[in-house]
Amino acid sequence: MIERERAFRPISIFIIYLFIFGMLADCKKEKAAEDKRDEGQIFGVKIYEYQGNLPTLFEEWKGMGINTAFVSEILASRDEFRSLAKAMNIAVFVIFPVFYDPESLEKDPDLYAVTDQGERAKEEWVAFVCPSRSDYRRQKIELAKHWVKRLDPDGLSIDFIRHFVFWEKVYPDQTLESLVNTCFDEHCMRKFQQDMEIVIPDSMDTVPKIAHWIRKNCLLEWTQWKCGLITSMVEEIAGEVRKIKPRILINVHAVPWRQKDFSGAVKIVAGQDFAKIAPVVDFLSPMTYAHMVKREPPWIHSVVKDISHQADCRILPSIQVREAYLKDRLTVEEFRASLTEALKPPSQGVVFWSWEALSSEPEKKDVIAELIHLR
Ligand SMILES: [Zn+2]
């Protein structure tokens, strides 16, 4: 018996040593991920719902090197989520959708943005509110203030801050003319003419005619005005929430189009002018979901570079984890290539869309842990 114990002793000591060494190594990796976030490098996940055990979730994030969570307001409202995030030093950005608002549209369909064909701005789940309604804008700003007061997040991640477009289904062979333009409802038409001192002739008596006239006669002014609606909304939200929490970080979800893609559609269609938005935000986060829009992984880096040339703020690409809309598989190899591209400078990190997708992809989690810890 004694002999056996003696024989075991060196092995036990060795196992304990390995265990402690492993823990120290893990702590070091986690500390390194936190330091990188403080330097501006964010390794984030977007998460919308979660039914499982929260402490286990946070442990898993720490193990992978995740240092930031981009969270729906529903999840961020859970006290346990916020206290664990604080205890584990995971920053929390609350995702705040602006002009995508099915609930408000259900209650008041008059809020719908109107397309150049005179129809409601709706395609599958993508339904957009007209961005010039002052009451709606005021309510949204109040809501942003409410969440910041109540949840005290590290950041606000402003989503659907653009004009209507289902960019997730816009493929490289499309043209500007094939994309729907908005918003041509009475509110926008009146305000556009007032603000830009433009008079649309009375003979333009239908929305398609008006849209055609604008495109032909004052596309530049129209685009400027559209972008102004979006930039001013970012400014107003950021300004108001910073009054409550001066150090709050502001992120804007950006349509992943380069300046010249689809003949300038990022401004003409989406109304996102990155040069103008950048000074009032901390991060611009292009949703570079390459697989979804039929692009190769190097496209991710090209989008980051293109935006960084226009915008004086940190660029934080978000990448997709699993296939969406399209049936062909997003393989582990493609994911690895995408993540490698996403991390190339001047990128300030990466955000994975989404944890829900990652949770069923253990091999991709391993790729994340490996590539983040290498940095
Ligand atoms: Zn409108």
Specify the pLDDT at position 323: 97
Ligand 1 centroid–CA 208 distance in Å is: 15
Ligand 1 centroid–CA 331 distance in Å is: 41
Ligand 1 centroid–CA 240 distance in Å is: 24
User: 330, 321 in Cβ contact below 8 A?
Assistant: yes
Ligand 1 centroid–CA 167 distance in Å is: 19
Tens of pLDDT, residue by residue over 275-321, are: 999 999 999 999 999 999 999 999 999 999 999 999 999 999 999 99
CA quadruple 145, 146, 147, 148: dihedral sign: positive
Task: Return the bridge partners of 114, or none.
Answer: 120
Cα 350 from Cα 220, distance rounded (Å): 34
Specify the pLDDT at position 16: 53
Ligand 1 centroid–CA 283 distance in Å is: 27
Specify the pLDDT at position 27: 52
Ligand 1 centroid–CA 258 distance in Å is: 25
Ligand 1 centroid–CA 30 distance in Å is: 47
In 3D space, the residue among 107, 114, 118 whose CA is nearest the CA of residue 132 turns out to be 114
Whole-number percent of the chain with pLDDT over 90: 88
Tens of pLDDT, residue by residue over 19-38, are: 555 555 555 555 555 545 55
Strand-pair category, 249-254 with 283-286: parallel
Ligand 1 centroid–CA 32 distance in Å is: 47
Would you place residue 125 in the very low, low, confident or very high pLDDT band (cuts 50, 70, 90)? very high
Ligand 1 centroid–CA 266 distance in Å is: 18
* CA-to-CA dists, residue 356 to 87, 127, 150, 347, 353, angstroms: 23, 23, 25, 24, 8
Mean pLDDT taken over the chain: 93
Tens of pLDDT, residue by residue over 320-373, are: 999 999 999 999 999 999 999 999 999 999 999 999 999 999 999 999 999 998
Specify the pLDDT at position 3: 46
In 3D space, the residue among 168, 133, 166, 160 whose CA is nearest the CA of residue 253 turns out to be 160
Ligand 1 centroid–CA 117 distance in Å is: 13
Ligand 1 centroid–CA 133 distance in Å is: 7
Please state the three-class secondary structure of the chain as a single string: CHHHHHHHHHHHHHHHHHHHHHHHHHHHHHHHHHHHHHCCCEEEEEECCCCCCHHHHHHHHHHHCCCEEEECHHHHCCHHHHHHHHHCCCEEEEEEECCECHHHHHHCHHHECEECCCCECEECCEEEECCCCHHHHHHHHHHHHHHHHHHCCCEEEEECCCCCCCHHHCCCCCCHHHCCCECCCHHHHHHHHHHHCCCCCCCCCCHHHHHHHHHHHCHHHHHHHHHHHHHHHHHHHHHHHHHHCCCCEEEEEECCCCCCHHHCHHHHCCCCCHHHHHHHCCEEEEECCCCCCCCCCHHHHHHHHHHHHHCCCEECCEEECCCCCCCCCCCHHHHHHHHHHHCCCCECEEEEECHHHHCCCHHHHHHHHHHHHHC
Specify the pLDDT at position 251: 98
Ligand 1 centroid–CA 273 distance in Å is: 18
Ligand 1 centroid–CA 141 distance in Å is: 18
Within 13 Å and on the Cβ side, how many CA atoms surround 78?
16
Ligand 1 centroid–CA 12 distance in Å is: 71
Ligand 1 centroid–CA 171 distance in Å is: 26
Within 8 A by CB and 6+ apart from 343, the residues are 349, 350, 371, 375
Cα 178 from Cα 175, distance rounded (Å): 5
Ligand 1 centroid–CA 155 distance in Å is: 29
Specify the pLDDT at position 267: 98
Would you say residue 375 has pLDDT above 80? no
Specify the pLDDT at position 31: 53
Ligand 1 centroid–CA 183 distance in Å is: 4
Strand-pair category, 122-123 with 126-127: antiparallel
pTM more than 0.85: yes
95-107 mean pLDDT: 98
Ligand 1 centroid–CA 204 distance in Å is: 17
Whole-number percent of the chain with pLDDT over 70: 89
Specify the pLDDT at position 29: 54
Q: Which residue has the tokens 């002739």?
A: 201
89-108 mean pLDDT: 98
Would you say residue 179 has pLDDT above 80? yes
Cα 112 from Cα 228, distance rounded (Å): 19
Ligand 1 centroid–CA 61 distance in Å is: 42
Specify the pLDDT at position 1: 42
Q: Which residues surround ligand 1, an ion (CB under 5 A)?
A: 130, 132, 183, 185, 187-188
Ligand 1 centroid–CA 189 distance in Å is: 7
Ligand 1 centroid–CA 260 distance in Å is: 25
Ligand 1 centroid–CA 144 distance in Å is: 22
Ligand 1 centroid–CA 182 distance in Å is: 7
Ligand 1 centroid–CA 115 distance in Å is: 9
Tens of pLDDT, residue by residue over 208-245, are: 999 999 999 999 999 999 999 999 999 999 999 999 99
Specify the pLDDT at position 348: 97
Amino acid occupying residue 209: K
Q: Which residue has the tokens 């490098």?
A: 41
Within 8 A by CB and 6+ apart from 89, the residues are 34, 67
